[in-house]
């Protein structure tokens, strides 16, 4: 049995290490994504007061009817959380002899206010970028990135299961966190973060893989469905395609339909309005339920005739397979979750991020004492140590750089959104360079302190503005007040960690003076390893 | 309702910690007797059941189940930090 446990321990160590840095970044970006809408709003200070969804839909309809009356389809996102504008998308009519253009969404989307005018805000991808990054990465083709992220998630699953097997005293050590004991404390901390939120870690990793299952494991789908469209029709049924009649007909007002849908769904709100062939006699209005309507990511929809407003189709109950996948994906994204639960998701995500980080640091802590010459460690040790600094301290700093770029770049800058993202990666590259060039302790302390200071100063930038510490408080904008306080709090936490690292004196010298105190430890450690 | 559920979860995990030799010694100075330990564990299970009962009455079965688990995780983390903190202080004094 001990041989088995030993093999699991090695598996845990190495499966965790090789993907640990990427996992840390994925966990952190994914965790922030639980507040995506709020980060979006925080990064667009131009957005004004909160508006009712009905007024936003009316404004969006006026905008679309004026600018793209002949589009193939219109899409209006109905915001659920505090919003002062709404995202609209449209699909232009296909041009004969030209393949439909894909991936150029920026030309066919707009942010529209209740007055039906395009809202002029600074160009930014806001929290959406962090959300995309956590499975699409950046600068690499999306499919490669997703395969790579999937591989990392699979290794994470292996690391979790082998970690549970390795940790033989899960229940005895359940509440154990021995402080100021060097390696013992790191191990306790890593175990505590892992065990306390173990169901969350398992769920988030497994369901993360499920979100992209048709990419990773297409065989079942390929064997059963000839065309990809047939599969998607099974997973997300729709009322089917309509042909343009050519007879113009005025479109009914969709706002009363929103109420009708909510009534039919027993109170669930509408999250998306989709209008096919607007202005044609065959027009259709499809309403899809909002994320808060249920755990499952596959949501109910109703289709109405655009000319008469009569209900013509309702989505059937999907099969148990599609339903299970929908619930698993929904659990992962947490979009259904009301704020209280969203906070717990966020905390669990931070726990997962810290678990990965502590595992990475633990690798070096464990090996440092065994080094033949601690002053000149071997290449592998140095590489891991430096990458740890560059990711664990460097990626949070890079995100902070992204937030600062959002505040500092001129509003009128060309391709400003890309410039913000480049700022993120430039900051990260600089952090990695510091990690490899400076002595380890200096790099840790410097990067952590810089990150903490820069985070804490963000709410103080233009403090009287709508997103500033004072401005948001005066307006009583609770969500932005919370965002500012979190930035201050997390900044303070980074500074506290930097202070701890700066004050830390390596244990090797102390334990050399007091060999008696250290003697019972190694046996414990070997057993727990 | 949610706050009450959280307090029950806290109570449950405090009892579970006190039912363990090491933590009982650190927190109240002596390990619990056999029967006392059994009573505390039973109490802990009741408290956690109460937490679950409260969340599903307030939030429905689906959301309540998820929330109950999340609250229990948070409560266990709070108890762990408190136990760890107390232990440091006591060993610092002694």
Q: How far is CA A23 from CA A225, A246, A408, B28, in A?
A: 34, 53, 30, 41
Distance from the A171 Cα atom to the nearest Cα atom in chain B, whole angstroms: 10
Average pLDDT, chain A: 89
Q: How far is CA A97 from CA A91, A94, A100, in A?
A: 17, 9, 9
pLDDT range class, residue A224, cuts 50, 70, 90: confident
ipTM for the complex shown: 0.92
Distance from the A297 Cα atom to the nearest Cα atom in chain B, whole angstroms: 14
| CB contacts, 8 Å: B71 with chain A | 344
Q: Which two tokens stand for residue A30?
A: 């994914």
What digits encode the pLDDT tens for the residues A194-207? Answer: 999 999 999 999 99
Number of other residues whose CB lies within 10 A of the CB of residue A343: 16
Going by their DSSP bridges, the two strands A86-91 and A109-112 should be labelled as antiparallel
**Cα separation of A158 and A163, whole Å?**
8
pLDDT range class, residue B92, cuts 50, 70, 90: low
What digits encode the pLDDT tens for the residues A42-83? Answer: 999 998 877 888 999 999 999 999 999 989 999 999 988 778
Report the residue of B80, B81, B82, B85 to disrupt the A interface, i.e. the one with the largest count of A CBs within 10 Å.
Answer: B80
Q: Could you say which of A178, A179, A344 has the minimum Cβ distance to residue B74?
A: A344
Q: In this structure, which long-range contacts are made by residues A218-221, counting pairs with CB atoms below 8 Å and at least 24 apart in sequence?
A: none
SS3 label, residue A495: helix
Q: Phi then psi for A394, rounded to 5 degrees?
A: -75, -40
DSSP string, A124-161: --HHHHHHHHHHH-SSS-HHHHHHHHHHHHHHHHHHHH
pLDDT of A102 reads 55
Q: Which residue has the tokens 């996992």?
A: A23
Query: If you measure CA to CA, which chain A residue comes closest to B3?
Result: A340
Give the DSSP H/E element, type plus range, for residue A46: none
| CB contacts, 8 Å: A352 with chain B | none
**Cα separation of A486 and A6, whole Å?**
41
Q: How far is CA A391 from CA A14, A20, A92, A446, B83, in A?
A: 17, 9, 42, 14, 31
Q: Which residue has the tokens 């309540």?
A: B64
What digits encode the pLDDT tens for the residues B14-31? Answer: 999 999 988 988 888 888
For residues A256-283, average pLDDT: 93
Cα distance between the two ends of chain A: 14
What digits encode the pLDDT tens for the residues B60-75? Answer: 999 999 999 999 999 9
Q: Which residue has the tokens 């056999």?
A: B34
DSSP structure class, residue A117: S
Please name every residue paired with A274 in a beta bridge, in sequence order, or none if there are none.
Answer: A75, A286
Picking from A368, A458, A367, the residue whose alpha carbon sits closest to that of residue A405 is A458
Between helices A379-388 and A339-368, what is the axis angle to 10°?
A: 160
| CB contacts, 8 Å: B62 with chain A | 294-295
Polymer length in residues for chain B: 94
DSSP structure class, residue A389: I
Q: Could you say which of A295, A338, A348 has the minimum Cβ distance to residue B62?
A: A295
Going by their DSSP bridges, the two strands A301-305 and A284-289 should be labelled as antiparallel
Q: Which residue has the tokens 């202080």?
A: B89
Q: Which two tokens stand for residue A494?
A: 């980074």
**Cα separation of A166 and A527, whole Å?**
9
* A405 neighbors A423 (Cβ within 8 angstroms): yes
| CB contacts, 8 Å: B83 with chain A | 175-177
Q: Phi then psi for A349, rounded to 5 degrees?
A: -65, -40
Exposure pattern of A183-218 as b/e (b: 16+ CB <10 Å)? bbbbbbbbbbbbbbbbebbebbbbbbbbbbbbeeee
Predicted TM-score (pTM) of this structure: 0.91
Percent of chain A at pLDDT above 90? 68
* B72 neighbors B50 (Cβ within 8 angstroms): no
* A112 neighbors A59 (Cβ within 8 angstroms): yes
pLDDT range class, residue A220, cuts 50, 70, 90: confident
pLDDT of A506 reads 67
Dihedral through CA A366, CA A173, CA B89, CA A197, nearest 10? 90
| CB contacts, 8 Å: A337 with chain B | 63, 66
Question: Of residues B73 and A103, which shows the higher confidence score?
Answer: B73
**Cα separation of A302 and A293, whole Å?**
14
| CB contacts, 8 Å: B74 with chain A | 344, 347
Cβ–Cβ below 8 Å for A295 and B66: yes
Cβ–Cβ below 8 Å for A196 and B71: no
| CB contacts, 8 Å: A179 with chain B | 84, 87-88
Q: Could you say which of A175, A200, A295 has the minimum Cβ distance to residue B17?
A: A175
**Cα separation of A68 and A70, whole Å?**
6
Distance from the A88 Cα atom to the nearest Cα atom in chain B, whole angstroms: 31
Distance from the B72 Cα atom to the nearest Cα atom in chain A, whole angstroms: 9
DSSP string, A161-220: HHHHHH-TTTTTTTT----S-THHHHHHHHHHHHHHTHHHHHHHHHHHHHHTHHHH--HH
For residues A91-104, average pLDDT: 68
SS3 label, residue A302: strand
Picking from B48, B38, B54, the residue whose alpha carbon sits closest to that of residue B11 is B48
Burial of A511 (0-12, 13-18, 19+ CB in 10 A): middle
Q: Could you say which of B71, B74, B88 has the minimum Cβ distance to residue A179?
A: B88
* B20 neighbors B44 (Cβ within 8 angstroms): no
pLDDT of A82 reads 74
What digits encode the pLDDT tens for the residues A293-352? Answer: 889 988 899 999 999 999 999 988 878 888 898 999 999 999 999 999 999 999 999 999
- pLDDT of A393 over the 80 cut: yes
Q: If interface means Cβ-Cβ distance under 8 Å, which residues of chain B face chain A?
A: 2, 13, 16-17, 20, 22-23, 62-63, 66-67, 69-71, 73-74, 76-77, 79-81, 83-84, 87-88
pLDDT of A98 reads 64
Q: Could you say which of B63, B77, B84 has the minimum Cβ distance to residue A341?
A: B63
Cβ–Cβ below 8 Å for B73 and A295: no
- pLDDT of A526 over the 50 cut: no
Name B22's Cβ contacts closer than 8 Å, sequence gap at least 6: A176
Name B64's Cβ contacts closer than 8 Å, sequence gap at least 6: B52, B55, B56, B57, B58
DSSP structure class, residue A462: S
**Cα separation of B26 and B20, whole Å?**
10
Exposure pattern of B28-38 as b/e (b: 16+ CB <10 Å)? eeebbeeeebe
Number of other residues whose CB lies within 10 A of the CB of residue A141: 10
Distance from the B14 Cα atom to the nearest Cα atom in chain A, whole angstroms: 10
Query: If you measure CA to CA, which chain A residue comes closest to B65?
Result: A341
Q: If interface means Cβ-Cβ distance under 8 Å, which residues of chain A face chain B?
A: 172, 174-180, 192, 196-197, 199-200, 294-295, 331, 336-338, 340-341, 344-345, 347-348, 351
* B74 neighbors B6 (Cβ within 8 angstroms): yes
pLDDT range class, residue A372, cuts 50, 70, 90: confident
Report the residue of B54, B76, B77 to disrupt the A interface, i.e. the one with the largest count of A CBs within 10 Å.
Answer: B77
């Amino acid at each position: 049995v001990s041989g088995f446990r030993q093999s699991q321990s090695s598996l845990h160590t190495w499966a965790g290490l090789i993907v640990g840095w990427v996992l840390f970044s994925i966990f952190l970006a994914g965790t922030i994504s639980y507040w995506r809408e709020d980060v979006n709003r925080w990064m667009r200070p131009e957005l004004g007061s909160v508006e009712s969804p009905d007024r936003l839909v009316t404004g969006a309809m006026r905008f679309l009817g004026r600018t793209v009356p002949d589009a193939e389809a219109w899409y209006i996102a109905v915001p659920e959380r505090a919003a002062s504008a709404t995202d609209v998308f449209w699909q232009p009519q296909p041009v004969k002899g030209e393949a439909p253009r894909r991936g150029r969404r920026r030309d066919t989307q707009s942010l529209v206010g209740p007055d039906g005018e395009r809202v002029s805000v600074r160009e930014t991808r806001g929290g959406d970028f962090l959300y995309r990054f956590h499975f699409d990465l950046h600068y690499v083709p999306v499919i490669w990135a997703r395969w790579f992220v999937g591989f990392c998630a699979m290794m994470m699953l292996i690391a979790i299961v082998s970690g549970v097997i390795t940790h033989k005293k899960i229940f005895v050590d359940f509440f154990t966190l021995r402080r100021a004991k060097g390696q013992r404390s790191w191990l306790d901390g890593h175990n505590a973060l892992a065990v306390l939120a173990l169901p969350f870690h398992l769920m988030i990793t497994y369901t993360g893989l499920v979100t992209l299952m048709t990419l990773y494991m297409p065989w079942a789908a390929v064997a059963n469905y000839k065309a990809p469209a047939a599969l998607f029709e099974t997973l997300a049924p729709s009322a089917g395609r309509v042909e343009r009649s050519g007879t113009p007909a005025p479109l009914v007002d969709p706002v009363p339909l929103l109420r009708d849908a909510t009534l039919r769904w027993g109170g669930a709100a509408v999250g998306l309005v989709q209008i096919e062939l607007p202005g044609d006699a065959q027009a259709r209005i499809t309403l899809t339920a909002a994320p808060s309507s249920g755990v499952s990511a596959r949501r109910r929809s109703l289709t109405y005739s655009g000319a008469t407003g009569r209900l013509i189709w309702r989505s059937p109950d999907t099969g148990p397979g599609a339903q299970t996948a929908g619930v698993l994906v929904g659990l992962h994204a947490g979009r259904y979750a009301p704020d209280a639960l969203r906070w717990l998701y966020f905390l669990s995500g931070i726990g997962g991020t810290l678990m990965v980080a502590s595992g990475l640091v633990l690798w070096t802590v464990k090996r440092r004492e065994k080094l033949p010459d601690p002053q000149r460690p071997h290449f592998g040790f140095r590489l891991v140590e430096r990458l740890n600094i560059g990711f664990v301290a460097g990626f949070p700093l890079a995100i902070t750089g992204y937030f600062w770029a959002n505040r500092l770049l001129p509003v009128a800058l060309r391709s400003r959104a890309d410039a913000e993202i480049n700022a993120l990666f430039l900051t990260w590259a600089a952090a990695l360079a510091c990690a490899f060039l400076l002595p380890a302790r200096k790099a840790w302390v410097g990067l952590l302190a810089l990150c903490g200071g820069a985070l804490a100063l963000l709410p103080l930038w233009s403090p009287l503005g709508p997103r500033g510490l004072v401005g948001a408080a005066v307006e009583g904008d609770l969500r932005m007040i919370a965002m500012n306080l979190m930035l201050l709090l997390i900044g303070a936490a980074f500074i506290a960690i930097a202070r701890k690292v700066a004050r830390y004196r390596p244990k090797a010298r102390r334990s050399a003076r007091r060999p008696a105190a250290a003697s019972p430890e190694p046996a414990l450690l070997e057993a727990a390893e | 309702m949610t706050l009450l559920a959280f307090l029950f979860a806290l109570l449950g995990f405090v009892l579970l910690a006190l039912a363990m030799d090491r933590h009982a010694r650190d927190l109240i100075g002596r390990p619990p007797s056999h029967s006392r330990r059994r009573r505390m564990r039973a109490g802990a299970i009741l408290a956690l059941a109460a937490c679950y009962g409260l969340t599903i009455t307030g939030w429905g079965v689906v959301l309540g189940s998820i929330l109950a688990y999340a609250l229990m995780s948070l409560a266990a983390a709070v108890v762990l930090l408190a136990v760890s903190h107390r232990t440091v202080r006591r060993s610092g004094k002694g």
